[in-house]
Amino acid sequence: MSTLTKILVVLLSLFSIFLCGMMVAFVGSTKNFKSQFEEQRKLAQYAQAELTKKDELFNTQAFKYKELENRLQETITALETDKNQLVADLRNAQRDSDQYQAQADSWKGVMTGFEQSVRNLQASLQQTQQQLDTARSQRITDQKDLNQITAELHAKIVQLQSMEAERRRLLEQKTELEQQISTSSIVPAREVRVVTQPVSTALPVSPVTAAHDIRGVVMDVDLTLVQLSVGTADGVRENMVFHITRGDQFLCDVVITNVDINQSAGVLQLVQQRPRPGDTASTQL
């Protein structure tokens, strides 16, 4: 064996051992690409299935969102319409508010004038009230004086009427005495009558019942007294009530306080109108 052969044998062995070492190291460190490929393919299939599911879910959600968008769009349209209507109502309300505010301002001015007028009226009312109080106090005083004067007047009237009755009785006695004197020239002087004998000619012939209607007329009217044309000869007595009428109209009542033979006098009651001479007086309406 030559030297060159020996060298080639040694080199070939060394290179073979080196190459085998590299091969073992490379193959030992190599991964299982097939199993990794299978895993990656399964992952890809799973991802594809997930993608399909997600796509379906996306489509479903997109459809739902589309419907929701449509509904929201309709809602937005309705709300927009309502908003426009509300804006129009707001403008109308503002216009009405301005108008009412103007009316309120004008009424405020009117009310201020009314308040001033009311103050003036209240002041005049207070003044009138004071005058009324003064007049009432004066009226009370006058009423007292009037009552006193009326009482005195009634007393005087009664005295006057009694004196009138006395005068008439004396006139009748005078007439009777004159008749006696005229007849004494014919009749013997023995037949002398008593001068002071009361005369009964003023008495009525027959008593008049209260139910009998007595009618007369008003002869004279004083402040509170009325003189009637009927007296005891017609059946009139004291405290009898006569109704004074004018045609069909009731005027007042008269309570008889004093009675003479052919006339009577009384005070007014239930005065509706003041009687006048000539009005009708009757005990029954």
Partner 1 sequence: MAKKITAATSDVYTAILALASLTVLSTAVYVALKCWMYYGTLFSIAQASR
What residues line the site for partner 1 (CB under 8 A)?
1, 6, 9-10, 12-13, 16-17, 19-20, 23-24, 27-28, 30, 32-35, 37-38, 41
Q: How far is the CB of 44 from partner 1 (least distance, A)?
A: 12
Question: Which residue lies nearer to partner 1 by CB, 25 or 51?
Answer: 25
- For residue 88, the Cα-to-chain-centroid distance in whole angstroms is 40
Q: How far is the CB of 61 from partner 1 (least distance, A)?
A: 35
Q: How far is the CB of 51 from partner 1 (least distance, A)?
A: 21
- For residue 168, the Cα-to-chain-centroid distance in whole angstroms is 68
Question: Which residue lies nearer to partner 1 by CB, 38 or 142?
Answer: 38
* Alpha helices for the chain (secondary structure H): 3-29, 33-184
Question: Which residue lies nearer to partner 1 by CB, 10 or 118?
Answer: 10
Q: How far is the CB of 10 from partner 1 (least distance, A)?
A: 6
Q: 267 near 255, Cβ under 8 Å?
A: yes
Residue 135 in tokens? 């007049």
Q: How far is the CB of 46 from partner 1 (least distance, A)?
A: 16
Question: Which residue lies nearer to partner 1 by CB, 22 or 271?
Answer: 22
H or E stretch including 216? strand 215-221
Maximal C-alpha separation, the chain: 249
Give every CB contact of residue 33 below 8 A, 6+ residues apart in sequence: none
Amino acid code (one letter) for 72: L
Question: Which residue lies nearer to partner 1 by CB, 23 or 192?
Answer: 23
